[in-house]
Chain A
Protein backbone atom coordinates (compact mmCIF):
# COMPACT_ATOMS: atom_id res chain seq x y z
CA UNK A 1 0.00 0.00 0.00
CA UNK A 2 1.16 3.47 -0.85
CA UNK A 3 0.26 4.68 2.62
CA UNK A 4 2.47 2.09 4.26
CA UNK A 5 5.41 2.88 2.05
CA UNK A 6 5.10 6.56 2.62
CA UNK A 7 4.89 6.64 6.37
CA UNK A 8 8.63 6.88 7.05
CA UNK A 9 9.03 9.65 4.54
CA UNK A 10 5.98 11.45 5.91
CA UNK A 11 7.31 11.18 9.44
CA UNK A 12 10.64 12.53 8.32
CA UNK A 13 8.83 15.53 6.89
CA UNK A 14 6.81 15.95 10.08
CA UNK A 15 10.11 15.90 11.93
CA UNK A 16 11.31 18.95 10.02
CA UNK A 17 8.06 20.78 10.65
CA UNK A 18 6.07 20.07 7.48
CA UNK A 19 2.42 20.79 8.42
CA UNK A 20 1.14 19.26 5.18
CA UNK A 21 2.81 15.97 6.02
CA UNK A 22 1.29 16.08 9.47
CA UNK A 23 -2.18 16.47 7.98
CA UNK A 24 -1.56 13.44 5.79
CA UNK A 25 -0.29 11.32 8.63
CA UNK A 26 -3.07 12.06 11.11
CA UNK A 27 -5.95 10.26 9.35
CA UNK A 28 -3.68 7.33 8.55
CA UNK A 29 -2.74 6.87 12.16
CA UNK A 30 -6.27 7.50 13.39
CA UNK A 31 -7.73 4.83 11.10
CA UNK A 32 -5.02 2.36 11.95
CA UNK A 33 -5.54 2.83 15.67
CA UNK A 34 -9.28 2.32 15.40
CA UNK A 35 -8.91 -0.67 13.14
CA UNK A 36 -6.41 -2.24 15.49
CA UNK A 37 -8.59 -1.66 18.51
CA UNK A 38 -11.49 -3.31 16.71
CA UNK A 39 -9.35 -6.19 15.48
CA UNK A 40 -7.90 -6.74 18.89
CA UNK A 41 -11.35 -7.02 20.39
CA UNK A 42 -12.65 -9.02 17.51
CA UNK A 43 -9.99 -11.66 17.93
CA UNK A 44 -9.78 -11.89 21.67
CA UNK A 45 -12.78 -13.65 23.04
CA UNK A 46 -11.53 -13.17 26.54
CA UNK A 47 -11.29 -9.42 26.66
CA UNK A 48 -8.09 -8.67 28.47
CA UNK A 49 -7.48 -5.21 29.77
CA UNK A 50 -6.76 -2.94 26.87
CA UNK A 51 -3.53 -1.10 26.79
CA UNK A 52 -3.58 1.98 24.66
CA UNK A 53 0.22 1.87 24.65
CA UNK A 54 0.25 -1.54 23.04
CA UNK A 55 -2.18 -0.35 20.40
CA UNK A 56 -0.06 2.66 19.57
CA UNK A 57 3.04 0.51 19.20
CA UNK A 58 1.23 -2.07 17.09
CA UNK A 59 -0.19 0.65 14.85
CA UNK A 60 3.33 1.88 14.26
CA UNK A 61 4.64 -1.57 13.34
CA UNK A 62 1.83 -2.05 10.87
CA UNK A 63 2.09 1.33 9.21
CA UNK A 64 5.88 1.13 8.99
CA UNK A 65 5.33 -2.12 7.17
CA UNK A 66 8.63 -3.82 7.89
CA UNK A 67 10.67 -0.70 7.41
CA UNK A 68 12.83 0.66 10.17
CA UNK A 69 12.37 4.37 10.49
CA UNK A 70 14.78 6.31 12.61
CA UNK A 71 14.31 6.70 16.33
CA UNK A 72 13.22 10.29 15.74
CA UNK A 73 10.55 9.32 13.24
CA UNK A 74 9.20 6.67 15.53
CA UNK A 75 9.03 9.14 18.39
CA UNK A 76 7.10 11.51 16.16
CA UNK A 77 4.69 8.79 15.27
CA UNK A 78 4.05 8.05 18.93
CA UNK A 79 3.53 11.72 19.56
CA UNK A 80 0.82 11.94 16.92
CA UNK A 81 -0.75 8.67 18.00
CA UNK A 82 -0.92 9.80 21.63
CA UNK A 83 -3.07 12.77 20.75
CA UNK A 84 -5.28 10.64 18.50
CA UNK A 85 -5.67 7.97 21.15
CA UNK A 86 -7.03 10.60 23.49
CA UNK A 87 -9.38 11.82 20.79
CA UNK A 88 -10.65 8.32 20.02
CA UNK A 89 -11.32 7.52 23.66
CA UNK A 90 -13.02 10.83 24.37
CA UNK A 91 -15.18 10.62 21.24
CA UNK A 92 -16.33 7.16 22.22
CA UNK A 93 -16.97 8.11 25.82
CA UNK A 94 -19.00 11.09 24.69
CA UNK A 95 -20.98 9.05 22.21
CA UNK A 96 -21.77 6.55 24.91
CA UNK A 97 -22.83 9.23 27.38
CA UNK A 98 -25.29 10.48 24.74
CA UNK A 99 -26.50 6.96 24.07
CA UNK A 100 -27.09 6.42 27.77
CA UNK A 101 -29.18 9.54 27.97
CA UNK A 102 -31.35 8.55 25.05
CA UNK A 103 -31.71 5.07 26.50
CA UNK A 104 -33.46 6.46 29.55
CA UNK A 105 -36.66 5.23 27.97
CA UNK A 106 -35.41 1.71 28.35
CA UNK A 107 -35.89 -0.08 31.61
CA UNK A 108 -33.19 -2.42 32.61
CA UNK A 109 -34.05 -5.45 34.64
CA UNK A 110 -31.61 -6.35 37.34
CA UNK A 111 -30.48 -9.73 36.08
CA UNK A 112 -28.87 -8.81 32.82
CA UNK A 113 -25.22 -7.81 32.92
CA UNK A 114 -24.69 -4.46 31.26
CA UNK A 115 -22.26 -5.36 28.52
CA UNK A 116 -21.67 -1.68 27.87
CA UNK A 117 -20.35 -0.78 31.31
CA UNK A 118 -20.74 2.56 33.06
CA UNK A 119 -20.45 5.98 31.48
CA UNK A 120 -16.90 7.23 31.23
CA UNK A 121 -17.41 10.28 33.35
CA UNK A 122 -13.88 10.33 34.70
CA UNK A 123 -12.36 10.41 31.23
CA UNK A 124 -14.62 13.27 30.17
CA UNK A 125 -13.75 15.18 33.32
CA UNK A 126 -10.07 14.60 32.57
CA UNK A 127 -10.55 15.75 29.00
CA UNK A 128 -12.18 18.98 30.09
CA UNK A 129 -9.41 19.62 32.59
CA UNK A 130 -6.83 19.02 29.85
CA UNK A 131 -8.67 21.45 27.59
CA UNK A 132 -8.54 24.15 30.26
CA UNK A 133 -4.89 23.45 30.90
CA UNK A 134 -4.10 23.59 27.19
CA UNK A 135 -5.26 27.19 27.01
CA UNK A 136 -2.41 28.37 29.19
CA UNK A 137 0.05 25.53 28.84
CA UNK A 138 -0.28 23.34 25.74
CA UNK A 139 3.16 21.81 26.24
CA UNK A 140 2.15 20.25 29.53
CA UNK A 141 -0.95 18.77 27.98
CA UNK A 142 1.17 17.28 25.23
CA UNK A 143 3.46 15.72 27.81
CA UNK A 144 0.51 14.12 29.55
CA UNK A 145 -0.93 12.78 26.33
CA UNK A 146 2.42 11.30 25.35
CA UNK A 147 2.98 9.63 28.66
CA UNK A 148 -0.52 8.43 29.44
CA UNK A 149 -2.30 7.92 26.13
CA UNK A 150 0.71 6.92 24.08
CA UNK A 151 2.86 5.29 26.76
CA UNK A 152 5.91 7.23 25.61
CA UNK A 153 9.12 7.31 27.60
CA UNK A 154 10.64 10.59 28.74
CA UNK A 155 13.38 10.06 26.14
CA UNK A 156 10.87 9.72 23.32
CA UNK A 157 8.93 12.82 24.41
CA UNK A 158 12.20 14.71 24.69
CA UNK A 159 13.07 13.80 21.11
CA UNK A 160 9.71 14.90 19.72
CA UNK A 161 9.61 18.16 21.65
CA UNK A 162 13.31 18.97 21.34
CA UNK A 163 13.71 19.24 25.08
CA UNK A 164 16.15 17.65 27.49
CA UNK A 165 15.02 14.49 29.24
CA UNK A 166 15.45 16.25 32.54
CA UNK A 167 13.06 19.02 31.55
CA UNK A 168 10.51 16.51 30.27
CA UNK A 169 10.52 14.65 33.60
CA UNK A 170 10.27 17.85 35.61
CA UNK A 171 7.50 19.36 33.48
CA UNK A 172 5.52 16.16 33.39
CA UNK A 173 5.54 15.96 37.14
CA UNK A 174 4.25 19.52 37.40
CA UNK A 175 1.73 18.85 34.62
CA UNK A 176 0.35 15.89 36.54
CA UNK A 177 -0.05 17.93 39.70
CA UNK A 178 -1.76 20.72 37.76
CA UNK A 179 -4.13 18.28 36.11
CA UNK A 180 -4.91 16.61 39.38
CA UNK A 181 -5.68 19.97 40.94
CA UNK A 182 -7.76 21.01 37.95
CA UNK A 183 -9.79 17.80 38.07
CA UNK A 184 -10.36 18.09 41.79
CA UNK A 185 -12.00 21.43 40.94
Chain B
Protein backbone atom coordinates (compact mmCIF):
# COMPACT_ATOMS: atom_id res chain seq x y z
CA UNK B 1 0.00 0.00 0.00
CA UNK B 2 1.31 3.34 -1.10
CA UNK B 3 2.01 5.58 1.89
CA UNK B 4 0.86 8.65 0.00
CA UNK B 5 -2.49 7.07 -0.79
CA UNK B 6 -2.97 6.15 2.86
CA UNK B 7 -2.16 9.70 3.96
CA UNK B 8 -4.56 11.16 1.44
CA UNK B 9 -7.26 8.77 2.63
CA UNK B 10 -6.86 9.96 6.22
CA UNK B 11 -6.83 13.59 5.13
CA UNK B 12 -9.92 13.31 2.98
CA UNK B 13 -12.05 10.77 4.81
CA UNK B 14 -14.11 13.35 6.69
CA UNK B 15 -14.36 15.97 3.96
CA UNK B 16 -17.29 16.57 1.63
CA UNK B 17 -17.12 15.77 -2.09
CA UNK B 18 -16.50 19.44 -2.94
CA UNK B 19 -13.77 19.80 -0.38
CA UNK B 20 -12.09 16.64 -1.64
CA UNK B 21 -12.15 17.87 -5.25
CA UNK B 22 -10.64 21.19 -4.18
CA UNK B 23 -7.95 19.37 -2.17
CA UNK B 24 -6.86 17.31 -5.16
CA UNK B 25 -6.52 20.42 -7.33
CA UNK B 26 -4.77 22.54 -4.70
CA UNK B 27 -2.22 19.83 -3.91
CA UNK B 28 -1.76 19.00 -7.56
CA UNK B 29 -2.45 15.27 -7.04
CA UNK B 30 -1.86 13.25 -10.21
CA UNK B 31 -4.77 11.46 -11.88
CA UNK B 32 -3.72 7.89 -11.02
CA UNK B 33 -3.29 8.62 -7.35
CA UNK B 34 -6.53 10.56 -7.27
CA UNK B 35 -8.42 7.69 -8.87
CA UNK B 36 -7.03 5.21 -6.38
CA UNK B 37 -7.79 7.36 -3.36
CA UNK B 38 -11.32 7.99 -4.59
CA UNK B 39 -11.92 4.27 -5.09
CA UNK B 40 -10.78 3.68 -1.54
CA UNK B 41 -12.95 6.48 -0.17
CA UNK B 42 -15.92 5.00 -2.00
CA UNK B 43 -15.40 1.83 0.05
CA UNK B 44 -15.35 3.77 3.30
CA UNK B 45 -19.02 4.00 4.15
CA UNK B 46 -21.06 1.19 5.59
CA UNK B 47 -18.09 -1.16 5.70
CA UNK B 48 -18.34 -2.04 9.35
CA UNK B 49 -21.99 -3.05 8.99
CA UNK B 50 -21.30 -5.51 6.20
CA UNK B 51 -18.27 -6.98 7.96
CA UNK B 52 -20.21 -7.51 11.16
CA UNK B 53 -23.10 -9.05 9.30
CA UNK B 54 -20.94 -11.46 7.32
CA UNK B 55 -19.00 -12.56 10.35
CA UNK B 56 -22.03 -12.99 12.53
CA UNK B 57 -23.83 -14.93 9.79
CA UNK B 58 -20.81 -17.12 9.29
CA UNK B 59 -20.52 -17.71 13.01
CA UNK B 60 -24.09 -18.76 13.52
CA UNK B 61 -23.82 -21.14 10.59
CA UNK B 62 -20.41 -22.54 11.33
CA UNK B 63 -20.33 -22.87 15.08
CA UNK B 64 -23.19 -25.37 15.40
CA UNK B 65 -20.92 -27.81 13.62
CA UNK B 66 -18.56 -27.89 16.54
CA UNK B 67 -19.06 -31.14 18.31
CA UNK B 68 -19.39 -31.25 22.07
CA UNK B 69 -16.53 -33.59 22.63
CA UNK B 70 -16.26 -34.89 26.15
CA UNK B 71 -19.81 -33.85 26.88
CA UNK B 72 -21.95 -35.90 29.19
CA UNK B 73 -25.14 -37.32 27.82
CA UNK B 74 -27.07 -39.03 30.60
CA UNK B 75 -24.71 -41.69 31.99
CA UNK B 76 -22.53 -41.54 28.85
CA UNK B 77 -19.52 -39.51 27.84
CA UNK B 78 -19.30 -38.63 24.15
CA UNK B 79 -15.92 -39.42 22.66
CA UNK B 80 -15.99 -38.92 18.95
CA UNK B 81 -18.34 -38.22 16.09
CA UNK B 82 -18.95 -41.32 14.01
CA UNK B 83 -21.75 -40.03 11.84
CA UNK B 84 -23.58 -36.89 11.12
CA UNK B 85 -26.93 -36.41 9.47
CA UNK B 86 -29.86 -34.06 9.32
CA UNK B 87 -31.47 -35.99 12.14
CA UNK B 88 -28.57 -35.61 14.54
CA UNK B 89 -25.04 -36.71 15.08
CA UNK B 90 -24.01 -40.15 16.24
CA UNK B 91 -21.17 -40.34 18.73
CA UNK B 92 -18.94 -43.05 19.95
CA UNK B 93 -19.56 -42.94 23.69
CA UNK B 94 -18.59 -44.70 26.86
CA UNK B 95 -20.34 -45.23 30.11
CA UNK B 96 -19.13 -42.52 32.45
CA UNK B 97 -20.87 -43.42 35.71
CA UNK B 98 -18.40 -46.16 36.58
CA UNK B 99 -21.03 -48.91 36.74
CA UNK B 100 -19.51 -50.94 33.92
CA UNK B 101 -17.05 -50.31 31.12
CA UNK B 102 -19.00 -50.14 27.92
CA UNK B 103 -18.63 -48.56 24.53
CA UNK B 104 -21.70 -47.67 22.58
CA UNK B 105 -23.10 -45.35 19.96
CA UNK B 106 -25.19 -42.42 21.18
CA UNK B 107 -27.43 -40.40 18.95
CA UNK B 108 -28.74 -37.05 20.13
CA UNK B 109 -31.39 -34.88 18.58
CA UNK B 110 -29.57 -31.72 17.51
CA UNK B 111 -30.31 -28.53 19.39
CA UNK B 112 -32.65 -26.28 17.50
CA UNK B 113 -34.43 -29.20 15.83
CA UNK B 114 -38.06 -28.54 15.03
CA UNK B 115 -41.07 -30.51 16.14
CA UNK B 116 -41.20 -32.77 13.05
CA UNK B 117 -37.58 -33.80 13.58
CA UNK B 118 -38.24 -34.39 17.25
CA UNK B 119 -41.23 -36.55 16.49
CA UNK B 120 -39.27 -38.59 14.00
CA UNK B 121 -36.45 -39.02 16.48
CA UNK B 122 -38.84 -40.31 19.14
CA UNK B 123 -40.38 -42.63 16.59
CA UNK B 124 -36.98 -43.99 15.65
CA UNK B 125 -36.34 -44.82 19.29
CA UNK B 126 -39.69 -46.51 19.60
CA UNK B 127 -39.13 -48.59 16.48
CA UNK B 128 -35.67 -49.66 17.60
CA UNK B 129 -37.00 -50.60 21.03
CA UNK B 130 -39.32 -53.12 19.43
CA UNK B 131 -36.66 -54.90 17.38
CA UNK B 132 -34.37 -57.76 18.34
CA UNK B 133 -32.39 -59.36 15.55
CA UNK B 134 -28.74 -60.39 15.32
CA UNK B 135 -28.32 -58.38 12.12
CA UNK B 136 -29.94 -55.19 13.37
CA UNK B 137 -28.03 -52.84 15.68
CA UNK B 138 -29.69 -53.10 19.09
CA UNK B 139 -30.96 -50.19 21.10
CA UNK B 140 -29.54 -50.22 24.63
CA UNK B 141 -30.94 -47.18 26.34
CA UNK B 142 -32.92 -44.01 25.82
CA UNK B 143 -33.28 -40.79 27.75
CA UNK B 144 -33.51 -37.03 27.78
CA UNK B 145 -30.99 -34.34 28.63
CA UNK B 146 -31.92 -31.71 31.20
CA UNK B 147 -32.88 -29.32 28.42
CA UNK B 148 -35.29 -31.83 26.92
CA UNK B 149 -33.13 -33.07 24.03
CA UNK B 150 -33.82 -36.78 23.61
CA UNK B 151 -31.03 -39.25 22.99
CA UNK B 152 -30.73 -42.95 22.35
CA UNK B 153 -27.88 -45.35 22.99
CA UNK B 154 -27.23 -48.21 20.61
CA UNK B 155 -24.88 -51.08 20.19
CA UNK B 156 -21.64 -49.72 18.73
CA UNK B 157 -20.89 -51.57 15.52
CA UNK B 158 -17.21 -51.56 14.72
CA UNK B 159 -17.45 -52.57 11.11
CA UNK B 160 -17.04 -51.66 7.48
CA UNK B 161 -19.75 -50.65 5.02
CA UNK B 162 -20.95 -53.78 3.28
CA UNK B 163 -19.62 -52.76 -0.14
CA UNK B 164 -16.14 -52.20 1.30
CA UNK B 165 -16.23 -55.45 3.24
CA UNK B 166 -17.51 -57.42 0.27
CA UNK B 167 -14.88 -56.13 -2.13
CA UNK B 168 -12.54 -59.01 -1.34
CA UNK B 169 -15.14 -61.77 -1.14
CA UNK B 170 -15.99 -64.44 -3.69
CA UNK B 171 -19.32 -64.28 -5.45
CA UNK B 172 -20.69 -67.07 -3.29
CA UNK B 173 -19.60 -65.31 -0.09
CA UNK B 174 -21.17 -62.07 -1.28
CA UNK B 175 -24.48 -63.81 -1.84
CA UNK B 176 -24.30 -65.48 1.58
CA UNK B 177 -23.64 -62.09 3.21
CA UNK B 178 -26.41 -60.48 1.26
CA UNK B 179 -28.84 -63.20 2.33
CA UNK B 180 -28.21 -62.30 5.96
CA UNK B 181 -29.15 -58.72 5.17
CA UNK B 182 -32.27 -59.95 3.40
CA UNK B 183 -33.16 -62.01 6.44
CA UNK B 184 -32.92 -58.94 8.66
CA UNK B 185 -35.01 -56.88 6.27
CA UNK B 186 -37.53 -59.72 6.17
CA UNK B 187 -37.68 -59.56 9.96
CA UNK B 188 -38.29 -55.80 9.79
CA UNK B 189 -41.10 -56.25 7.32
CA UNK B 190 -42.76 -58.97 9.36
CA UNK B 191 -42.74 -56.44 12.18
CA UNK B 192 -44.32 -53.89 9.86
CA UNK B 193 -41.26 -51.67 9.80
CA UNK B 194 -39.90 -50.21 6.54
CA UNK B 195 -36.34 -48.97 6.82
CA UNK B 196 -36.49 -46.66 3.78
CA UNK B 197 -32.78 -45.86 3.75
CA UNK B 198 -30.96 -49.10 2.99
CA UNK B 199 -27.57 -48.42 1.46
CA UNK B 200 -24.03 -49.71 1.99
CA UNK B 201 -23.14 -47.06 4.58
CA UNK B 202 -26.11 -48.15 6.69
CA UNK B 203 -25.17 -51.82 6.57
CA UNK B 204 -21.94 -52.39 8.46
CA UNK B 205 -20.20 -55.73 8.57
CA UNK B 206 -18.22 -56.67 11.68
CA UNK B 207 -14.82 -58.30 11.55
CA UNK B 208 -16.41 -61.74 11.98
CA UNK B 209 -18.64 -61.16 8.97
CA UNK B 210 -21.96 -60.29 10.61
CA UNK B 211 -23.87 -57.55 8.80
CA UNK B 212 -25.71 -55.07 11.01
CA UNK B 213 -28.39 -52.72 9.76
CA UNK B 214 -28.17 -49.22 11.23
CA UNK B 215 -29.87 -45.86 11.11
CA UNK B 216 -33.58 -46.09 11.48
CA UNK B 217 -33.81 -42.31 11.33
CA UNK B 218 -36.45 -42.34 8.65
CA UNK B 219 -37.90 -45.79 9.21
CA UNK B 220 -41.66 -46.06 9.34
CA UNK B 221 -44.21 -48.35 10.85
CA UNK B 222 -46.58 -49.46 8.12
CA UNK B 223 -50.17 -48.47 8.34
CA UNK B 224 -51.97 -51.79 8.77
CA UNK B 225 -55.05 -50.67 6.91
CA UNK B 226 -53.26 -49.96 3.65
CA UNK B 227 -49.88 -51.64 4.09
CA UNK B 228 -48.49 -48.43 2.70
CA UNK B 229 -47.06 -45.21 3.99
CA UNK B 230 -46.23 -41.90 2.40
CA UNK B 231 -42.67 -41.02 1.56
CA UNK B 232 -41.31 -38.68 4.20
CA UNK B 233 -39.54 -35.41 3.75
CA UNK B 234 -35.89 -36.29 3.68
CA UNK B 235 -32.52 -36.53 2.07
CA UNK B 236 -32.33 -39.31 -0.45
CA UNK B 237 -29.31 -41.17 -1.67
CA UNK B 238 -30.39 -41.48 -5.29
CA UNK B 239 -28.32 -44.54 -6.08
CA UNK B 240 -30.27 -46.58 -3.58
CA UNK B 241 -33.62 -44.80 -3.36
CA UNK B 242 -36.62 -46.31 -5.06
CA UNK B 243 -38.55 -44.53 -7.82
CA UNK B 244 -41.54 -44.00 -5.53
CA UNK B 245 -39.30 -42.23 -3.02
CA UNK B 246 -37.91 -39.96 -5.69
CA UNK B 247 -41.33 -38.98 -6.97
CA UNK B 248 -42.88 -38.71 -3.51
CA UNK B 249 -45.20 -41.66 -4.07
CA UNK B 250 -46.39 -44.12 -1.46
CA UNK B 251 -43.75 -46.37 -0.03
CA UNK B 252 -44.21 -49.95 1.01
CA UNK B 253 -41.98 -52.87 1.88
CA UNK B 254 -41.14 -52.98 -1.84
CA UNK B 255 -39.23 -49.74 -1.32
CA UNK B 256 -36.68 -51.57 0.78
CA UNK B 257 -36.57 -54.38 -1.77
CA UNK B 258 -35.63 -51.91 -4.45
CA UNK B 259 -32.79 -50.58 -2.29
CA UNK B 260 -31.65 -54.14 -1.57
CA UNK B 261 -31.47 -54.68 -5.32
CA UNK B 262 -29.29 -51.61 -5.66
CA UNK B 263 -27.05 -52.79 -2.81
CA UNK B 264 -26.74 -56.21 -4.44
CA UNK B 265 -25.83 -54.57 -7.72
CA UNK B 266 -23.11 -52.67 -5.93
CA UNK B 267 -21.79 -55.79 -4.20
CA UNK B 268 -21.67 -57.86 -7.36
CA UNK B 269 -20.35 -55.29 -9.82
CA UNK B 270 -18.40 -53.02 -7.47
CA UNK B 271 -19.97 -50.05 -9.23
CA UNK B 272 -22.53 -47.59 -7.87
CA UNK B 273 -25.93 -48.72 -9.13
CA UNK B 274 -26.80 -45.54 -10.95
CA UNK B 275 -24.29 -42.79 -11.23
CA UNK B 276 -26.77 -40.37 -12.70
CA UNK B 277 -28.07 -36.97 -11.80
CA UNK B 278 -31.72 -36.87 -11.10
CA UNK B 279 -33.81 -34.89 -13.50
CA UNK B 280 -37.41 -34.86 -14.51
CA UNK B 281 -37.43 -38.38 -15.86
CA UNK B 282 -35.22 -39.78 -13.18
CA UNK B 283 -37.35 -42.81 -12.55
CA UNK B 284 -37.58 -43.75 -16.20
CA UNK B 285 -33.84 -43.59 -16.48
CA UNK B 286 -33.42 -45.54 -13.32
CA UNK B 287 -35.43 -48.45 -14.65
CA UNK B 288 -33.95 -48.25 -18.11
CA UNK B 289 -30.52 -48.52 -16.61
CA UNK B 290 -31.56 -51.63 -14.80
CA UNK B 291 -32.81 -53.21 -18.00
CA UNK B 292 -29.78 -52.15 -20.00
CA UNK B 293 -27.42 -53.67 -17.59
CA UNK B 294 -29.27 -56.89 -16.96
CA UNK B 295 -26.59 -58.81 -18.77
CA UNK B 296 -24.04 -57.69 -16.22
CA UNK B 297 -25.14 -60.60 -14.08
CA UNK B 298 -24.77 -64.23 -14.69
CA UNK B 299 -25.88 -67.64 -13.46
CA UNK B 300 -27.55 -67.85 -10.14
CA UNK B 301 -26.95 -64.15 -9.44
CA UNK B 302 -29.06 -63.04 -12.39
CA UNK B 303 -31.87 -64.98 -10.89
CA UNK B 304 -31.52 -63.14 -7.58
CA UNK B 305 -31.28 -59.83 -9.23
CA UNK B 306 -34.33 -60.24 -11.40
CA UNK B 307 -36.38 -61.04 -8.39
CA UNK B 308 -35.03 -58.11 -6.47
CA UNK B 309 -35.46 -55.66 -9.28
CA UNK B 310 -39.04 -56.81 -9.69
CA UNK B 311 -39.55 -55.16 -6.34
CA UNK B 312 -39.78 -51.83 -8.12
CA UNK B 313 -43.25 -52.79 -9.28
CA UNK B 314 -44.69 -52.92 -5.82
CA UNK B 315 -46.16 -55.57 -3.56
CA UNK B 316 -46.06 -58.25 -6.18
CA UNK B 317 -42.30 -57.88 -6.42
CA UNK B 318 -42.03 -58.09 -2.68
CA UNK B 319 -43.85 -61.39 -2.66
CA UNK B 320 -41.51 -62.84 -5.25
CA UNK B 321 -38.51 -61.56 -3.37
CA UNK B 322 -39.78 -62.86 -0.12
CA UNK B 323 -40.00 -66.32 -1.55
CA UNK B 324 -36.59 -66.38 -3.14
CA UNK B 325 -34.35 -64.42 -0.86
CA UNK B 326 -35.68 -64.15 2.66
Contact = CB atoms under 8 A, between A and B. Distances in A.
Interface in A126-168: 126, 136-137, 144, 148-149
Nearest to B62: A92
A117 B54 CA distance: 14
Nearest to A108: B235
Contacts of B86: 112, 114-116
Interface string B1-43: 1000010011001000000000000000000000000011101
A36 to B, nearest CB: 9
B190 interface: no
* Nearest 5 pairs of A and B residues by beta carbon: A123-B58, A111-B233, A92-B62, A180-B43, A176-B47
Contacts of B59: 50-52, 89
A41 B63 contact: yes
Given A144-B51, A180-B50, A112 B58 contact: no
A109 B234 contact: yes
A107 B64 contact: no
Given A115-B113, A174-B10, A50 B63 contact: yes
Contact of A177 (B9, B57, B58, B114): B9
A65 interface: no
The bracket for how many chain B residues form the interface is 35 or more
A35 B69 CA distance: 8
B104 to A, nearest CB: 19
B54 A126 contact: yes
B110 interface: yes
B65 A95 contact: yes
B148 interface: yes
Given A38-B69, A43-B147, A105-B238, A122 B110 contact: no
A115 B110 contact: yes
Given A37-B66, A115-B86, A173-B44, A120 B233 contact: no
Given A52-B59, A122-B57, A181-B39, A47 B68 contact: no
Interface in B130-153: 147-149
B10 A37 contact: no
Interface of B: 1, 6, 9-10, 13, 39-41, 43-44, 47-48, 50-52, 54-71, 86, 110-114, 117, 147-149, 233-239, 241, 246, 248, 278
A122 B113 CA distance: 25
A52 B239 contact: no
Given A44-B111, A148-B52, A123 B62 contact: yes
B13 A173 contact: yes
A137 to B, nearest CB: 6
B114 A113 contact: yes
B274 to A, nearest CB: 11
27 contacts: A38-B69, A40-B63, A41-B63, A41-B112, A42-B111, A46-B112, A88-B63, A89-B59, A89-B63, A93-B61, A95-B65, A106-B235, A106-B237, A107-B236, A112-B86, A115-B86, A122-B54, A123-B62, A148-B48, A148-B52, A174-B9, A174-B40, A176-B48, A178-B40, A178-B43, A179-B51, A180-B43
A45 B40 contact: no
A83 interface: no
Contacts of B6: 174
Contacts of A184: 43
A170 interface: yes
Contacts of B235: 106-109, 112
Interface in A59-114: 88-89, 92-93, 95-96, 105-109, 111-114
A50 B51 contact: no
A17 interface: no
A45 B148 contact: yes
A89 B60 CA distance: 9
A174 to B, nearest CB: 5
Contacts of A89: 55, 58-59, 62-63
A46 B69 CA distance: 21
A107 B13 contact: no
